[in-house]
Amino acid sequence: MSLNVRLTPARRVILVIGVPLVLAMIAFGAVGWSHIAIIQLANGHPVGFSRTLSLPASGQSRLTVSNANLGLRPGAGSRIRVRASLYGSIARPRFERRYTARGLSLSPYCTVPVGNCDLNLQASVPTGLPVTATDNFGNITASGLSGTVTLTDNSGNLVATGLAGTIRLYNPYGELNASGLSGTTQLSSNDGDINATGVTGGTRLRDSFGNITVTGLAAADVTATNNDGDVYLSFSQVPKTVTVTDSFGNVTLVLPRGPATYRVHAGRPPFGSRSITVPESATSSSVITVHNSNGDITIKNA
């Protein structure tokens, strides 16, 4: 039996529009299923390896890391020891290293664009030697270091605990969290918050578009500068000199309760309020200076 189907103008329009549409839907579905299959494969068993390096410190420890998280702690001896744990999806990560007069440079990276990528480096550095570490696109975690410690993180978070000596921590585009710092301390950021507790010694704080929050301050001299964020400083001991400058945020100083008096220089902000409730004296050796343009100033006892 033969079946003759007459192609009317309407049927021709349906064929012209419908066939490409059906083919496009089939292709889209195939691409979607392929993408799902790749992701499922990538999220399966990780592929990777561990590696250990040991290099002389040559009087100081200098590390530059890209694409990986870096953990730092003090170690015995006079060598820098690094343990790399590198795991990726589908293919093994690459691990590039260079050792020059400028220090040790480590650059692990994953070779596929999908799936999980876990790149971690743990480094121990000689106790007491100057430490300089820079991380790009990873987090830095440092604990127990002493001496001259300079840590810089870009596009990651920086966490430091129990550092002593001359401390410089800089994280322009991420969170900076610190505790138990003693000595001379500089904490700087550009577009992230600074959070610290238990800070002893001369302290310099600088931010531009994040908040500065420091509690447990036992520093005699403190300077804090911000542009577009709040400044909150809570002292556990009476300071000698405190200077705070802000432009578009609130400034709050919490001073220890007790008989101490303060020589306060803090005019009323053009666009904000001013509240000072600590005991004041024009002859006090504890000087508090606050400048603010567009925010409140609050100076009070705990």
pLDDT of residue 283: 97
pTM, two decimal places: 0.84
- Percentage of the chain lying above the pLDDT 90 cut: 75
CA torsion angle for 231, 236, 240, 245 (degrees, to 10)? 0
pLDDT of residue 32: 46
Rounded distance between C-alpha atoms, residue 59 and residue 39, angstroms = 47
pLDDT exceeds cutoff 90 at 21:
no
20 — pLDDT class (breaks 50, 70, 90): low
Q: What is the pLDDT of residues 3-14, one digit of tens each?
A: 455 656 655 555
Q: What is the pLDDT of residues 27-48, one digit of tens each?
A: 554 444 444 434 444 445 678 8
Rounded distance between C-alpha atoms, residue 177 and residue 231, angstroms = 15
pLDDT of residue 40: 41
Q: What is the pLDDT of residues 68-100, one digit of tens each?
A: 999 999 999 999 999 999 998 778 899 999 987
Bridge partners of 158?
A: 140, 176
Q: What is the pLDDT of residues 157-203, one digit of tens each?
A: 999 999 999 999 999 999 999 999 999 999 999 999 999 999 999 99
